[in-house]
Amino acid sequence: MTNILKKQLTLCNIYAIFLITVLSFMTVGCHSSRSGVVSGGNYQGSSAEALSKQTLKELFTNLEAGYGEWESVKMPVTLNLISPKSMSIGGTLTMERDKSIHLSFRFIGMEVASMMVTEDSIYALYKLEKLYFAESISDLLGGFPATVGNVQDLLLGRPFMLGESRISLSQCTLSGNGATWTIAPDRNPMGMSYDFTVDTPTGNVELLTVNLPSRSPIIADYSDFASSATGPMAGLTAISAKKGNTRIAAEISLNARKAEWGKGLGKTWSAPRGYKRVLAADILKKLNKK
């Protein structure tokens, strides 16, 4: 394994940690201008082009009805970092509903890194340099109410409400003009706001837009939808953000055709012997230098 390859995989592993943890912070989107609104059951119509209250409710109900319950899933995944550097690594994504997310990264058939998010912790392992990461979710998120289930829905391209197991119509604002319609949860923690744009003809979530105080929006653009045992899921998620003058762009590709849905696919994690622990502060320092 060359030093160049080690460097690339180190960066890719750090970025993977960054991607999952930071997106856990950012599970919400901007409130677009609305011509018709359903909020907590109250409707305000100001344009003939606006979708009616009843139509919006039907669209929401049909969207939710299209998603089935699931216990665990395993499928191939590819992470592509486009900017500020270009690199790609593939592996396997394994998830237990509302319990855990496990990513195993491979190169020439050999596992070189892995990471796992549970209800209370996040772990990562980098085998090439015998490093591991283990931190409390509550410490990393600083009280932000994202759950494992929220991140799972984010990865699959499905709407969610921060801190809740289901998204509720009574706690959302709906709006639309026919071609697309929007779901905006009414509760926005820590000055953030978020919404989901849904394509009306297909019923698929097109965008998750996140507005943060004094920062450029963060966009998750969903495409390449496929049918699965639990309803439609996005095959490609393109993520774009800006940190200062640095543009961050990445893609998450999921292979729905090779997905295994069922029971007992979940993973466990334990601290490896002979590995050095890397702290969250160390990773943040490295990220800030990129």
pLDDT at residue 173 is higher than 60: yes
pLDDT at residue 6 is higher than 80: no
* Residue/partner pairs of 230-234 with CB below 8 Å, 24 or more apart: 230/67, 230/68, 230/69, 230/70, 230/73, 230/261, 231/66, 231/67, 231/68, 231/158, 232/66, 232/157, 232/203, 232/204, 233/156, 233/157, 233/158, 233/259, 234/156, 234/157, 234/204, 234/205
Contacts of 1 by beta carbon, 8 Å cutoff, 6+ apart: 128
Provide the pLDDT confidence category of residue 289 given band limits of 50, 70 and 90.
low
Stretch 33-43: mean pLDDT: 38
Q: Which CATH number describes the domain made up of 3-289?
A: 2.50.20.10
Of 190-199, 221-230, 235-244, the least confident: 235-244
Residue 79 CA to residue 89 CA, distance in Å, equals 6
pLDDT at residue 77 is higher than 90: yes
Residue 13 CA to residue 34 CA, distance in Å, equals 40
pLDDT number for residue 283: 62
Contacts of 110 by beta carbon, 8 Å cutoff, 6+ apart: none
The predicted model scores a pTM of: 0.83
Instruction: Please write the tens of the pLDDT for every residue from 83-129.
Output: 877 778 889 999 999 999 999 988 777 888 888 889 888 888 888 88
Contact 154, 27 (CB under 8 A): yes
Instruction: Please write the tens of the pLDDT for every residue from 51-60.
Output: 899 999 999 9
pLDDT number for residue 82: 84
